[in-house]
Amino acid sequence: MAGLEDLYKEIVIDHYRSPRNRGELVSPPAKHAEGFNPLCGDEVQVWIDLEGDTITNVAIGGQGCSISQASASMMSAAIKGKTIAEIGELTVAVKSMMSVHEHALEDDDSGVLPEPPDVELGDLEALKGVVKFPVRIKCATLSWNTLVEALNN
Amino acid sequence: MAGLEDLYKEIVIDHYRSPRNRGELVSPPAKHAEGFNPLCGDEVQVWIDLEGDTITNVAIGGQGCSISQASASMMSAAIKGKTIAEIGELTVAVKSMMSVHEHALEDDDSGVLPEPPDVELGDLEALKGVVKFPVRIKCATLSWNTLVEALNN
Amino acid sequence: MSSEPFDVAAVRSDFPIFDEPINDRRLVYLDSSGTSQKPRAVLDAMTDFYESANANVHRGAYFLSDLASRRMEGARSKVAKFIGATDSAEVVFTKNATEAINLIAGSWGRVNLNKGDAVVLSMLEHHANIVPWHMLAQERGIEIRFLPVTGDGQIDLTDLDRWFDGANLVSLSAMSNVTGALTDLERVVTAAHAAGALVALDACQLVPHLPTDVAAIGADFMAFSAHKMCGPTGVGVLWARRELLEAMPPFMGGGGMIANVTTEGFTTTELPHKFEAGTPPIAEIIGLGAAVDYLSALDMHEVRRHEVELTAYFLRTIKERHGDDVVVHGPAEPSQRGGVFSFAYKDVHPHDLSQVLDQRGVSVRAGHHCAKPFMTQLGVGATARASLYIYNDESDVDELVDALSDASELFSF
Amino acid sequence: MSSEPFDVAAVRSDFPIFDEPINDRRLVYLDSSGTSQKPRAVLDAMTDFYESANANVHRGAYFLSDLASRRMEGARSKVAKFIGATDSAEVVFTKNATEAINLIAGSWGRVNLNKGDAVVLSMLEHHANIVPWHMLAQERGIEIRFLPVTGDGQIDLTDLDRWFDGANLVSLSAMSNVTGALTDLERVVTAAHAAGALVALDACQLVPHLPTDVAAIGADFMAFSAHKMCGPTGVGVLWARRELLEAMPPFMGGGGMIANVTTEGFTTTELPHKFEAGTPPIAEIIGLGAAVDYLSALDMHEVRRHEVELTAYFLRTIKERHGDDVVVHGPAEPSQRGGVFSFAYKDVHPHDLSQVLDQRGVSVRAGHHCAKPFMTQLGVGATARASLYIYNDESDVDELVDALSDASELFSF
Ligand SMILES: Cc1ncc(COP(=O)(O)O)c(C=O)c1O
Ligand SMILES: Cc1ncc(COP(=O)(O)O)c(C=O)c1O
């Protein structure tokens, strides 16, 4: 539909249709967190198996709109096998891809945008279009916030 | 001052200047109540000695604007020697002199005004001008409300 | 009057927001149960107040302050009349319906409910009528019972005697903001009072849409918000029976609600001011007064008739065009419901659905509608919701029905 | 800019209420500490919102709802900036300052204060900063201490170490609404924190009149109302440090403040929404944003400079014309006060005085100014009070001074 191509990129729809790493892990030992988007009812569950500093397995549960579920699926694919430090960088990169714009929309005229870390985003890049639809930013960042919480648990 | 003659009638000013029955009675036996006008700080104290059904003595205390104090003074003069039944009638008459208008100002368009009891008001009639100054109605009725309270104590 | 059709075009022309395209599209506003649009008369009443009568109320001997007070109290009388209350001191202004329900829980509840006492809610309540009771339960250990909901989205009123047995308060929505279902208030009030329980009504969706008469309903408390009935944001109403209000302690303390204050304590002033601490939403109350005038001039019976007709059209049309691809929650019979429709379309997520509809200016809400327990029962995280009001007509319904096909196109898998 | 005179005529022309006579008289509005008048820009911002962006916030995926949310959150950022808060989530919108203080008492107070704990107030507090603590004292048996007031109407700050010893919270007005006295905040904050007490400021009279920087002041809580600073009725602000807000339980429950709700309980969402249950005063918040823009454009340093000059003129002129017939409460030194003057004229009762002044359009308030304990200390039931703001000039003061002679005429006995 005219105007929505930036939001509903083919790769986003693909992750929504065929979510990667869907399931549950036994917790403990898996770290687990549950995230809600209280405004629209999206829900994401994240399970993570860690070996030392490295994520060896991920599972995603929950329900919600195409953006929240595609974002979770993309995230699960992107973080598997990565170290916590790498994931930290990735999280910052993804969030700054969104939140820079989030701020701009909140009338913050500071004008100084922090330089995002130089990280390969891969598929995740497809979510960049979300920034044109500010209400959906929270859908896209939900899984990342839930990941941070899982890692802290 | 132009426009204020209806409010500050000579007899009102006279009662304010030389309040009647100013003082206190020993309570008990005297019935006593204290009334506040929380909006403007007027304060009226009423003491009443009863013999059977008849008010044998009245004392008035408190402080406040000319209208509240003059009204209390006029009331004290009007009720001394009267029976409770007579005072009931007088209270209704005085209040309806005011409150009819109070309602009219509150956009009550019922249009039906209750017939006030046919009672001789004497000096109290001078307070009729208060209805043109709706904010002062509460000053004028304070002593009467306090009287009712004292009788109920 | 009831033989003439309801003149939606005339009504629309009273609402400035429909004058110009929004985001380059004709605004098809279908979220009036979220908040209604505002007629010019309401905006003018507030602007006029600020431009010619603005002062603080009840506090000065000067002309302007008296004028402001009388306008505000005049609005209170109008609101009382609009809901059938004969005593305008029973109308307490709050900031919204949510504060009104918190006031019931925080004031009446705190002194009247103790460990073991019970409050009856239902599974389809708005969070505004759940969370205050959870908060009270945490504090005072009361029991909360949730009446079930029937398959067609109504509060299940079977077995009320058992549910109400030993309850102290029954607090229910008079019309659901999710399914539009109207609650049979007579049955609820009769059964609750028979069980010795008081009745509070969340009338947020009732008062804007149906003629309301508190005396006839016979409930004990009722809460609603101005912003859903053509009035401004920033003001809500708690109506309650005088004896209850008189016995209740204040909810908040401050200026305007006291008779006296010393370093030792305070005494409260008379109703309704006892519950209105601080400077009230003066202009907003006056705006609500104008909203009530506006709705009264339309005649609430006519408003209801229009909504029943449009509801019938909505249900019929969406079925004709989309058959089983659409599931509409709530009663099938228009007379048992208001014009609020939670619906699912194929397996398109509500959030995506509303995004696609928005592309055509069709504004519907997607989410849990502040009714998560009910969403959980439905087994969904969210629904899309369209809701109708006085300025909507068949063309708005048609626009929604057409736009649903776009979603089918985009998410056809 | 500070060498040019403050252009009152230009400011007045921004306020529609001064365009026409009120009650056939020129309006000499001297009750801005009761509520301020509103500039056109504020009224326009609200009308424009209703006419082109009205929808409920944070709840819909559609364009209009998103627009409304962004305008509201934009206003929050403006308010945060105006008071020097770097984190706009520390700005919680309430219905008025009174609710903000009730929130501190009802949320922070209820979980942090127990029998034997102490809150320090002063004898000149507004009821909004007394009654909530009396209510808490009734409930939880806390001690309330009242700092004395000096002869010239300032909070007496001698011996603070003794007063604050063992106190948990010090809650004081930053500027008195009765005497205009400014409180030495640095001294209060330093002494309170040294004693291990938190500091809450009733900044109702501070924020509208002086440049305010919460970071520099170093207090823990601050409350103020929009309607006294060119903004609309129906919205107030609680600012508090993030750590405090995060640890506090919600004050009211309902939509918008939850992360999840089940039949068993609920969890709260993030700041500031956790404290904003129900539909917020959306248009009013946007109006407050416009008020903050308006005041910022004037420059709060210039506003303060104007008020100090006019205060000096007031004190000088009234003395010259009426000598000892007038007693003005409060500090004699303009730099130590704002333009709020409680005064007595001969033995004319304040209520009569304001009635006589009103006859000339001079609008001053008469009463206890919601500060009964202070009135009791002064030994009066009421005072007359004149207060100045950006649209007042020397001619308003002259008008008041002239009108006082009328009272002398009428009550010359
Ligand atoms: C010092 C002070 N505190 C508190 C208040 C209460 O403000 P509001 O009535 O807007 O809640 C006021 C104004 O009335 C005030 O001047
Ligand atoms: C049924 C119902 N109850 C309560 C509310 C809460 O109203 P408000 O947000 O105006 O307090 C709403 C609207 O959001 C509602 O629809």
pLDDT band with cut points at 50, 70 and 90 for residue C133: very high
% of chain C beyond a pLDDT of 90? 93
What is the rounded CA–CA span in Å between residue D400 and residue C363?
Answer: 55
Token representation of residue D403: 């009108």
Query: Which phi-psi region, left, alpha or beta, contains residue C105 (left: φ > 0; alpha: ψ -120 to 50)?
Result: alpha
Per-residue model confidence (pLDDT) at position C349: 92
Q: Is the CB of D388 under 6 A from ligand 1?
A: no
- Looking at the DSSP bridge assignments, the partners of residue D147 are D122
When the pLDDT of each residue in chain B is averaged and rounded to a whole number, the result is 85
**Is the pLDDT confidence value at D412 over 90?**
no
D63 backbone dihedrals φ, ψ, rounded to 5°? -50, -50
Please check whether residue A37 is in contact with residue A139, taking contact to mean a CB–CB distance below 8 angstroms: yes
Q: Of the candidates C45, C46, C73, which has an alpha carbon nearest to the alpha carbon of residue C58?
A: C73
Q: Average pLDDT for residues B41-59, to the nearest whole number?
A: 93
Mean pLDDT over D341-354 rounds to 94
Residues D152 and D332 sit within 8 Å (Cβ to Cβ): yes
Query: B134–C59: do the CB atoms touch at under 8 Å?
Result: no
Nearest in space to A98 (alpha carbons), one of A86, A80, A81, A114: A114
Element (H, E) at C406: helix C394-410
Tally the residues of chain C. Answer: 413
Q: pLDDT digit string (tens) for D195-233?
A: 999 999 999 999 999 999 999 999 999 999 999 999 999
Is residue C204 part of the annotated active site? The answer reads: no
How confident is residue C59, by pLDDT bands cut at 50, 70 and 90? low
Q: What does the pLDDT look like over D242-255, one tens digit per residue? A: 999 999 999 999 99
CB atoms within 10 A of CB D20: 11
What D21-26 contacts at long range (C-beta under 8 Å, 24+ apart), as own/partner pairs, is: D21/D361, D22/C52, D22/C63, D22/C64, D22/D361, D23/C63, D23/C64, D23/D361, D25/D360, D25/D361, D26/D361, D26/D399
* Least confident range of A25-29, C40-44, D312-316: A25-29
Cα(D141)–Cα(D182) distance, integer angstroms: 31
End-to-end CA distance of chain A: 42
Is the Cβ–Cβ distance between C318 and C401 less than 8 Å?
yes
* Whether pLDDT at B102 is above 50: no
Q: Is D126 in the pocket of ligand 1 (CB under 6 A)?
A: yes
- Of the given ranges (A14-18, A93-97, C10-14, D184-188), which has the lowest mean pLDDT? A93-97
* D-contacting residues in A 30-59 (Cβ below 8 Å): 36, 38-40
Closest by alpha carbon to D147, among D121, D175, D116, D176?
Answer: D121
Lowest-confidence region among C281-290, C346-355, D195-204: C346-355
| Cα D141 from Cα C110, distance rounded (Å) | 17
Q: Determine the distance separating the centroid of ligand 2 and the alpha carbon of D110, expressed in angstroms.
A: 27
CB of residue C256 inside a 6 A radius of ligand 1: no
pLDDT of residue A111: 43
> D356 touching B, CB under 8 A?
yes
Higher pLDDT, D174 or A136: D174
Residue C51 has pLDDT above 90, yes or no: yes
pLDDT at position A108, please?
42
A106 pLDDT exceeds 50? Answer: no
Best mutation site among D279, D355, D375 for testing chain C: the one with the most C CBs within 10 Å? D279
Interface test with D, best of B40, B44, B69 (most D CBs within 10 A): B40
Q: Residue D224: which residues within 8 A CB-CB, separation 6 or more?
A: D97, D100, D202, D203, D204, D206, D207, D208, D236, D237
- Cβ(B19)–Cβ(B144) below 8 Å: no
Express each pLDDT in C63-120 by its tens digit. Answer: 999 999 999 999 999 999 999 999 999 999 999 999 999 999 999 999 999 999 999 9
Look at residue D398 and tell me whether its pLDDT is greater than 70.
yes
- CA-nearest residue to D357 within chain C is C62
Determine the pLDDT at residue A138.
Answer: 87
**Which residues neighbour A14 within 8 Å (Cβ) at sequence distance 6 or greater?**
A70
pLDDT value of residue B116: 64
pLDDT top residue among A97 and B110: A97
The whole-number pLDDT of residue C400 equals 98
- D99's enclosing H/E stretch is helix D97-103
pLDDT reported for residue C281: 98
Q: What is the pLDDT of residue A2?
A: 63
Residue C60: is its pLDDT beyond 70?
Answer: no
- The three-state secondary structure class of D134 is helix
**CATH fourth-level superfamily of C8-38+299-406:** Aspartate Aminotransferase, domain 1 (3.90.1150.10)
Is the Cβ–Cβ distance between C76 and C238 less than 8 Å? Answer: no
In tens, the pLDDT along D93-136 reads: 999 999 999 999 999 999 999 999 999 999 999 999 999 999 99
Q: What is the DSSP annotation of D189-229?
A: HHHHHHTT-EEEEE-TTTTTTS---HHHH--SEEEEEGGGT
Between the CA of D280 and the centroid of ligand 2 the distance, in Å, is 11
Q: Are C256 and C275 in contact (CB under 8 A)?
A: no
pLDDT higher than 70, residue A35:
yes
Tokens (6 digits) for C149: 């909901």
Q: Which residue of A has its CA nearest to C357?
A: A1
Is residue A110 pLDDT above 70, yes or no?
no
The answer to whether the Cβ–Cβ distance between A40 and C366 falls below 8 Å is yes
What is the pLDDT at residue A102?
40
The two tokens of residue D247 are 């640890």
Please check the confidence at residue A107 and state whether its pLDDT lies above 60: no
Catalytic member of C91, C128, C203, C370: C370
Of D238, D20, D232, the closest CA to residue D129 belongs to D238
Q: Strands, E, within C209-317: which ranges?
A: 221-225, 236-240, 258-261, 266-268
- pLDDT band, very low/low/confident/very high, at A117 (cuts 50, 70, 90): low
How many Cβ pairs closer than 8 A exist between chain B and C? 29
pLDDT tens, residue by residue, C218-262: 999 999 999 999 999 999 999 999 999 999 999 999 999 998 899
How confident is the model at residue A36, as a pLDDT? 86
**What percentage of chain C exceeds 70 in pLDDT?**
98
Question: What's the pLDDT tens digit per position in C7-20?
Answer: 999 999 999 999 99
B136–C61 CB contact, under 8 Å: yes
For the segment C157-169, the average pLDDT, to the nearest whole number, is 97
How many whole angstroms separate alpha carbon D233 and alpha carbon D43?
11
Averaged over A53-58, what is the pLDDT?
95
Residue B119 reports pLDDT greater than 90: no
d(CA C203, CA C207): 6
Ligand 2 nearest atom to the CA of residue C33, by list position: 16
CA C370–ligand 2 middle distance (angstroms): 8
Burial class (CB in 10 A: 0-12, 13-18, 19+), C305: middle
The sign one gets for the Cα dihedral C201, C207, C212, C213 is positive
* Candidates B6, B34, B66, partner chain D, best to mutate (most D CBs within 10 A): B66
Q: Which one is catalytic: D370, D375, D378, D401?
A: D370
Taking a contact as any Cβ pair under 8 Å apart, which residues of chain D between 222 and 241 contact chain C?
225, 227, 232-236
**Topology of the domain comprising C43-297:** Aspartate Aminotransferase; domain 2 (3.40.640)
Using the CB atoms, write b or e for C31-60: b if 16+ within 10 Å.
bbbbbbbbbbebbebbbbbbbebbbbbbbb
From chain D, the residues in CB contact with C257 under 8 A are 131
Tokens of D331: 């500090």
Give contacts of D367 with chain B, Cβ < 8 Å. 39-41
Of C352, C355, C382, which has the smallest distance from its Cβ to A41's Cβ?
Answer: C382
Architecture (CATH level 2) of domain A10-152: Alpha-Beta Complex (3.90)
> From the CA of C144, how far away is ligand 2's center (Å)?
20
Amino acid symbol at A52: G
Confidence at residue B114, expressed as pLDDT on a 0 to 100 scale: 55
Average pLDDT of span D33-53: 98
Query: Residue D320, Cα to own-chain centre: how many angstroms?
Result: 31
SS3 assignment for chain B: CCCCCCCCCHHHHHHHHCCCCECCCCCCCCEEEEEEECCCCEEEEEEEEEECCEEEEEEEEEECCHHHHHHHHHHHHHHCCCEHHHHHHHHHHHHHHHHHHHHHHCCCCCCCCCCCCCCCCHHHHHHHHHHHCHHHHHHHHHHHHHHHHHHHC
The confidence score (pLDDT) of residue B117 equals: 67
pLDDT tens across C291-326, in order?
Answer: 999 999 999 999 999 999 999 999 999 999 999 999
CA dist., res. D308 & res. D303, Å (int): 9
Residue boundaries of the structural domains of chain B? 10-152
Spell out the residues 6+ positions from residue D91 whose beta carbon is closer than 8 angstroms to its own: D76, D79, D80, D83, D85, D237, D238, D239, D272
Q: How far is the CA of D33 from the centre of ligand 1 (A)?
A: 8
Beta bridge partners of B45: B34, B61
Q: Which of chain D's residues have a Cβ under 8 Å away from the Cβ of B63?
A: 380-381
With CA atoms as reference, the chain D residue closest to A65 would be D61
- Pocket lining for ligand 2, CB < 6 angstroms: C 33, 96-98, 126, 128, 173, 177, 202, 204-205, 225, 227, 236, 370; D 255, 278-279
How much is the pTM?
0.94
User: Which has the minimum average pLDDT: A24-33, D31-40, D133-142?
Assistant: A24-33
Q: What is the mean pLDDT of residues C265-286?
A: 97
- The answer to whether the bond into D21 is cis (omega within 30° of 0) is no
Largest pairwise CA distance in chain D: 72
CB A64 within 8 A of CB A133: no
Per-position DSSP letters for chain A, written without gaps between them: -TT-TTTS-HHHHHHHHS-TTBS---TTTSEEEEEEETTTTEEEEEEEEEETTEEEEEEEEEE--HHHHHHHHHHHHHHTT-BHHHHHHHHHHHHHHHHHHHHHHTT-TT--PPPPP----GGGGGGGGGGGSGGGHHHHHHHHHHHHHHHH-
CA distance C153 to C149: 6
What per-residue string of b and e applies to B69-102 under the rule 16 or more CB within 10 Å gives b? Answer: bbbbbbbbbbbbebeeebbeebbbbbbbbbbebb
